[in-house]
């Protein structure tokens, strides 16, 4: 998969060199290109923003550098199989980013990301881009970040880990939170009995029983109860919570 990111802070994307995503890049599974928006300005000060028409606080990102940068991305990456990228523009007013969206995006050959700053991009940038490529404005959640870079880090990680070969044990992806509508069950490792400065904390005995059916049943109950307690809005939980009120979930 090819990824292009346009930002005024290209260094913000440095964590994409680390861990599984960094390894996926080195293995040739992810082809990441980071572009500095200021390279597409034409004035001496490399200006990317200006005050908003109509007044108001903050600055707005100018349309010309954005159009030039996005045109460059298309020109640079186009192939017969993927003539244009799917452009994702992070924004708090976008459609919520979900695991389902991550799966859909993981099936695409080429994604591009436009990282806004200040009060965001001049609205005409969206018109320019939408005439050239599919475009989706995506929100990470109902809060406001300073810029799109953190949202891009999250989206690239969520999408990238779904690509075949990125996560070593593909089975670990199956029972995760938000796969199948439930949150994940609690997990434990050694020691089975932990002396936490005088308080002994035990692993639930069923996990030590070797009874795989009982373990699977316990884990499912925990997933349902945890989802009901923390995320009653997730439909799969609300359909199956009856009778599980007494389970101990945080």
- Which residues are part of a known binding site for S-adenosyl-L-methionine? 116, 140-145
Per CB under 6 A, 200 contacts ligand SAM = no
Under rule CB under 6 A, residue 158 binds ligand SAM? no
Contacts of 22 (CB under 8 A, 6+ apart): 16
**Site residues for ligand SAM, window 44-103 (CB under 6 A)?**
90-93
Nearer to ligand SAM, 155 or 182 (CB): 155
Six-digit token pair at 117?
């700053």
Applying CB under 6 A, among 148, 185, 225, 227 the residue interacting with ligand SAM is: 148
Tell the smallest beta-carbon distance from residue 21 to ligand SAM (Å). Answer: 19
Residue 151 makes contact with ligand SAM by CB under 6 A: yes
- Pick the binder of ligand SAM from 144, 174, 187, 242 (CB under 6 A): 144
CB-count exposure of residue 79 (10 Å: 0-12, 13-18, 19+): exposed
Considering only residues 112, 116, 125, 183, which one is a binding residue for ligand SAM as defined by CB under 6 A?
Answer: 116
Tokens standing for residue 20:
């599984």
Collapse the DSSP code of 195 into the 3-class scheme (helix H, G, I; strand E, B; otherwise coil) and give the result: strand
Q: How far apart are the first and last CA of the chain?
A: 38
Q: Dig out the tokens for 97 from the structure.
A: 């980013």
Give the residue with the Cβ less far from ligand SAM, 65 or 90.
Answer: 90
Angstrom distance (rounded) from CA 231 to CA 182: 9
Smallest gap from Cβ 52 to ligand SAM, in A, equals 10
- Which residue is at the shortest CB distance from ligand SAM? 116
Are 88 and 104 in contact by the 8 Å Cβ rule? The answer is no
Q: Candidates 72-80, 139-147, 181-189, 208-216 — which segment interacts with ligand SAM by CB under 6 A?
A: 139-147
∠ Cα 164 216 196 (to 5°): 95
In angstroms, what is the minimal distance from the CB of 235 to ligand SAM? 23
C-alpha–C-alpha distance, residues 15 and 131, integer Å: 32
Beta strand 2-7 with 110-114 is parallel
Q: Compute how many residues bind ligand SAM; rule: CB under 6 A.
A: 19
Binding footprint of ligand SAM on the chain (CB under 6 A):
90-93, 115-117, 119-120, 139-141, 143-148, 151
């Amino acid at each position: 998969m090819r990824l292009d990111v346009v930002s005024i802070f290209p260094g913000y994307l440095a964590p994409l060199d680390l861990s599984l995503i960094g390894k996926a890049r080195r293995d040739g599974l992810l082809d990441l290109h980071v572009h500095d928006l200021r390279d597409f300005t034409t004035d001496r000060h490399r200006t990317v923003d200006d005050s908003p028409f109509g007044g108001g606080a903050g600055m707005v990102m100018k349309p010309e550098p954005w159009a030039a940068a996005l045109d460059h991305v298309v020109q640079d990456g186009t192939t017969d199989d993927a003539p244009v990228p799917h452009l994702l523009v992070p924004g708090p007013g976008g459609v919520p980013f979900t695991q389902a969206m991550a799966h859909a995006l993981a099936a695409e050959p080429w994604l591009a990301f436009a990282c806004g700053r200040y009060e965001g991009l001049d609205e005409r940038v969206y018109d320019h881009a939408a005439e050239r490529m599919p475009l989706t404005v995506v929100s990470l959640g109902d809060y406001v970040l300073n810029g799109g870079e953190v949202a891009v880090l999250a989206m690239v990680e969520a999408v990238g880990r779904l690509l075949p070969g990125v996560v070593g044990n593909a089975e670990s992806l199956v029972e995760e939170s938000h796969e199948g509508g439930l949150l994940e069950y609690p997990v434990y490792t050694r020691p089975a009995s932990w002396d936490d400065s005088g308080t002994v904390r035990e692993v639930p005995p069923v996990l030590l029983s070797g009874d795989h059916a009982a373990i699977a049943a316990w884990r499912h109950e925990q997933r349902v109860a945890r989802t009901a307690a923390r995320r009653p809005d997730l439909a799969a939980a609300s359909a199956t919570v009856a009778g599980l009120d007494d389970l101990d979930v945080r």
